[in-house]
């Protein structure tokens, strides 16, 4: 196995045992970027010079027997994360030359954990998209077949991990923007509970929906990563004082007597039958190993897309109002088509005479969706559903069909509306293209999600 193909755990163990250095590990990742990124377009900025300096410092700390969870590990950052002295663009021409004066809280935590930050990766501009095609710096391509989309909006993050250009990556998930590309790129993606990870210093898309997560090669790596990033932040009032678990504790407990809910609304017409068949085999694997499979209903899920695409554009229009070209960034004509579409939708929804008819009603539906999940979690420990109703589609196939693009998030937006965590797990390939499923849990149940996901990862066969 090449160095850049290692997991976080494998890389940390190799560095500690002096099998290779952090500089060696970084150079393997940089070499992969140089070999692959011209065609995949995952990176907007590669911070080679800064990363080499961090890697050398890591090797020095390792020689002093420092014990940091991500010491020497190359990680890429979605280009919504503010990085002091390093360009942060949100993949938009509005911010194409913007250099922040401070680090996002998560960036500071990663640095303090010893991570080597290898660069800023591409995404749908302002995180507006499900495919990775809406970046002002060109679309990111799926590493398994470059004719297809990698999912969005955290497209570059997923691709940088799947193509072994880094060991792990950060992302954001507002309506599926981590779980979707994780599923399409055959990597593990975590959307934590809303507020579990600080949003401070991350370009906002929709503030009541944004969750700050990450992409890794294994479930165990995802737990290692969340151990670093989770917790209260005085700079973000939405981060609660709720105790942060040790997410590695229950990884190998198995699934005996765990209650797994299967919502009928997620397995109806519109779901590709090949994906349905694959997920049903995963359900049988859990059942065979002692899990209790429980049929449940989430009746208000059918309103989720309509509800989401009222609330989210409303918050987008508010958040993007600050980009007026006066204090920093370029002027508003530099916004792309999708940003303009969402600004107009949100402004209309919030305007006089329409607020009660649309936004207020959507917030009431959001409450009903939350209540659906609360009732379900009184009966089950976790819920298992598809991530996407379809396989990855070809680049430009839906670019002129925004409604069709929005509907690709039909299974993921509910978790954001309810504020619950979701873990996307790879489930193999169909016709050479990756698919996955997601495990949803009650708020702050990430430890249980890792337990369920780790069991599947360790026990499923590629021919599932």
Tell me how far apart the alpha carbons of residues 218 and 16 are, in angstroms, rounded to a whole number. Answer: 20
| Backbone φ and ψ of 361, nearest 5° | -65, -40
Read off the pLDDT of each residue in 87-99 and give the average, rounded to a whole number: 97
- Give percent above pLDDT 90 in the chain: 94
Q: How would you classify the pairing of strands 292-296 and 211-216?
A: unpaired
Tell me how far apart the alpha carbons of residues 26 and 23 are, in angstroms, rounded to a whole number. Answer: 5
Read off the pLDDT of each residue in 383-400 and give the average, rounded to a whole number: 94
Give 463's pLDDT tier (boundaries 50, 70, 90): very low
Helices then strands, each counted (H, E), the chain: 14, 11
pLDDT digit string, tens, across residues 203-229:
999 999 999 999 999 999 999 999 999
Q: Which H helix or E strand runs over 183?
A: helix 179-185
Tell me how far apart the alpha carbons of residues 427 and 459 are, in angstroms, rounded to a whole number. Answer: 11
DSSP 67-113: --TTTT-EEEEETTB-BTTB---TTSGGGTT---SS--HHHHHHHHT
- On whether the CB atoms of residues 142 and 99 are closer than 8 A, the answer is no
- On whether the CB atoms of residues 390 and 115 are closer than 8 A, the answer is no
Q: What's the pLDDT at 259? A: 98
Give the other-Cβ count within 10 Å of 271's Cβ: 18
- On whether the CB atoms of residues 422 and 179 are closer than 8 A, the answer is yes
Tell me how far apart the alpha carbons of residues 392 and 396 are, in angstroms, rounded to a whole number. Answer: 12
End-to-end CA distance of the chain: 24
Q: What's the pLDDT at 268? A: 87
Q: Which residues contact 258 (CB under 8 A, 6 or more apart)?
A: 286, 290, 291, 292, 381, 382, 448, 451, 452
pLDDT digit string, tens, across residues 336-382:
999 999 999 999 999 988 888 899 999 999 999 999 999 999 999 99
| Backbone φ and ψ of 293, nearest 5° | -90, 125
Tell me how far apart the alpha carbons of residues 130 and 392 are, in angstroms, rounded to a whole number. Answer: 10
- On whether the CB atoms of residues 227 and 12 are closer than 8 A, the answer is no
Beta-bridged to residue 216, according to DSSP, are 188
DSSP 461: -
Query: Is the pLDDT confidence value at 404 over 90?
Result: no
Domain limits of the chain? 3-255+383-458
- Give percent above pLDDT 70 in the chain: 99
Q: Which residues contact 121 (CB under 8 A, 6 or more apart)?
A: 42, 43, 44, 76, 77, 78, 79, 156, 157, 159, 160, 169
Give the 3-state secondary structure percentages of the chain, helix then strand then coil, rounded to 5. Answer: 40, 15, 40
Q: What is the mean pLDDT of the chain?
A: 96
Residue positions annotated with a catalytic role: 78, 153, 177
Give the other-Cβ count within 10 Å of 295's Cβ: 11
pLDDT digit string, tens, across residues 251-307:
999 999 999 999 999 998 899 999 999 999 999 999 999 999 999 999 999 999 999
What top-level class would CATH report for the domain 3-255+383-458?
alpha beta
């Amino acid at each position: 196995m090449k160095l850049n193909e290692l997991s976080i755990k494998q890389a940390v163990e190799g560095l500690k045992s002096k099998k290779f250095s952090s500089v060696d590990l970084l150079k393997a990742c940089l070499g992969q970027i140089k070999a692959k990124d011209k065609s995949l377009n995952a990176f907007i900025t590669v911070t080679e010079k800064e990363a080499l300096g961090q890697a050398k410092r890591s090797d020095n700390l390792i020689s002093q027997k420092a014990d940091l969870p991500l010491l020497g590990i190359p990680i890429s950052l979605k280009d919504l994360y503010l990085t002091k002295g390093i360009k942060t663009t949100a993949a938009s021409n509005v911010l194409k030359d913007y250099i922040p004066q401070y680090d996002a809280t998560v960036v500071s935590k990663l640095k303090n954990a010893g991570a080597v930050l290898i660069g800023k990766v591409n995404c749908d501009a302002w995180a507006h998209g499900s495919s990775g095609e809406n970046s002002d710096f060109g679309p990111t391509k799926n590493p398994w077949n470059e004719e297809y989309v990698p999912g969005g909006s955290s497209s570059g993050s997923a691709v940088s991990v799947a193509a072994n250009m880094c060991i792990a990556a950060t992302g954001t998930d507002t309506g599926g923007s981590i779980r979707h590309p994780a599923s399409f790129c055959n990597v593990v993606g975590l959307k934590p509970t809303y507020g579990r990870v600080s949003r401070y210093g991350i370009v906002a898309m929709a503030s009541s929906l944004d969750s700050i997560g990450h992409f890794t090669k294994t479930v165990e790596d995802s737990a290692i990563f969340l151990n670093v990033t989770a917790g209260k932040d005085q700079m973000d009032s939405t981060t609660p004082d709720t105790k942060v678990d040790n997410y590695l504790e229950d990884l190998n407990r198995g699934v005996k007597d765990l209650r797994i809910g299967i919502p009928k609304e997620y397995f109806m017409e519109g779901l590709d039958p090949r994906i349905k068949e694959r997920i049903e085999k995963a359900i049988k694997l859990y059942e065979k190993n002692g899990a209790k499979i429980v049929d449940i209903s989430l009746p208000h899920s059918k309103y989720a897309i309509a509800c989401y695409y009222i609330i989210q554009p409303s918050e987008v229009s508010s958040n993007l109002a600050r980009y007026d070209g006066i204090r920093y960034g370029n002027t508003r004509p530099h916004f792309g088509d999708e940003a303009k579409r969402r600004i107009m939708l949100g402004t209309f929804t919030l305007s006089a005479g329409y607020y009660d008819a649309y936004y207020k009603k959507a917030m009431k539906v959001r409450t009903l969706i939350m209540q659906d999940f609360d009732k379900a979690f009184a009966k089950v420990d976790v819920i298992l559903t598809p991530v996407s109703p379809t396989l990855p589609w070809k680049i430009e196939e839906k670019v002129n069909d925004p409604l069709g693009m929005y509907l690709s998030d039909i299974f993921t937006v509910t978790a954001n509306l309810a504020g619950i965590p979701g873990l996307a797990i790879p489930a193999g390939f169909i016709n050479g293209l990756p698919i996955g499923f997601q495990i949803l849990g009650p708020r702050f149940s990430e430890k249980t999600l890792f337990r369920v996901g780790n069991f599947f990862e360790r026990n499923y066969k590629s021919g599932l």
